[in-house]
Amino acid sequence: MKKSNVLFLVILFIVTFISYINVNATEKLPEFDGGYIKTVKDDYMEIKEVEAKPAFGGYAFVTDKSSIVNIQENEFKGLLVKGNYKFESFSLHHLVEKYVNSGKGKQYLPGDKIDLQSKNIGDGCYYFQPRDKLVKGDYVAWIGKSFWLFSIK
């Protein structure tokens, strides 16, 4: 083989390899609007939105905990919210148990606000990461009248 042919094949291989890396390095965002937990493997776990009722000058959630998404402490990386929201009002709180609501489950209130870093990662899509590692417990992510509950195990 001529040197020019070998050089051409090497350049072609390098260009193909770089293209492959760039395509696979692009983060695939969730398709649908809503709240998601981002894992350390860069996967997304959907968090179902829960209904909140006005209570005690704020909001309260009544749940039997079946709607709360569970994730292991060492797998949690951050939160992603996608949709038509006012992202500047996003907050994350510890979830505080208030009392048992007869037959419907326990009532929970947002507790202390958690300090977050935020990043706009696309049109209508923000990534939020706590400045400190989240400890085991229950949490509520909150923006406007949308609420997502999850638990760190």
How do the pLDDT tens digits run along the chain, 153 residues long? 576 766 666 676 666 656 554 444 456 889 999 999 999 999 999 999 888 888 767 777 767 667 789 999 999 999 999 999 999 999 999 988 776 655 566 677 888 999 999 999 988 999 999 999 999 999 999 998 889 999 999
CB 73 within 8 A of CB 136: yes
Nearest to 33, CA basis, from 149, 152, 150, 146: 146
Residues 96, 112: Cα–Cα separation, whole Å: 9
SS3 26: coil
Residue ranges in the chain assigned as alpha helix (H): 3-25
CB 108 within 8 A of CB 63: yes
